[in-house]
Copies of this chain bind each other. A is one copy, B any other.
């Protein structure tokens, strides 16, 4: 069965800026989706900010194994209700791949719990992306490193919790470094942050970037089963060991405002 991917795109720069439209005439999400469609085991749909529910209805998310996220100019326009819904699905097991300026997306900040801030510069400089674990599934097909000739720079400090695994670190022409590929698990969902990809450069046409995204989608696909998390009360008569109530209680299971 194919891995069901939903490519989410904010789709704002593309509508506003001719310079962006020249590179991504059908939007960045369309380009990212096309790259993933090269993989025979992956089935791709797209969703954008402008659609109802930003294209992320409960039904779409229930049928998504891995969600990729690109946003930049309109993080604030993503409604909290949709962020709640996406977070819940990640915790249940859906994979999430956060791209570039998505570091500041509500959903990424929500899952990390940290500032997610960084330093940055737009100078079209060169980036060299090094592999930290050559055996890692996300790095397959990449040699020691790959290069992006012109890109926006992101630099440390990157305000993230310590990653489970460091997959890539970038070197920049202007002298900075950055933790460009990192993984976390939250609940039962796998999360991968991948730095490259800027609206004024054709990064998502880059062979190695496309390869990493295909690898990442396979890595992030759910393992195990969906974890439905409910904070259940365990009645005394169902305790694993025989129990009698001692003391009193001021609240009841299901009472408003508690669990």
Contact = CB atoms under 8 A, between A and B. Distances in A.
A93 B159 CA distance: 13
B93 A135 contact: yes
Looking at A137, A166, A179, A226, which has the most chain B CB atoms within 10 Å of its CB?
Answer: A166
A226 B104 CA distance: 21
A245 interface: yes
A206 interface: no
Interface stretch (A27-35, A43-51, A61-69, A108-116): A108-116
Contacts of A235: 121
Contact of A223 (B20, B101, B219): B219
List the number of copies, as a whole number.
4
B247 A124 contact: yes
A172 B20 CA distance: 33
A76 B258 CA distance: 9
Interface in A203-259: 219, 223-227, 229-236, 239-241, 243-251, 257-259
Given A121-B235, A123-B239, A177-B177, A113 B111 contact: yes
A165 B45 CA distance: 32
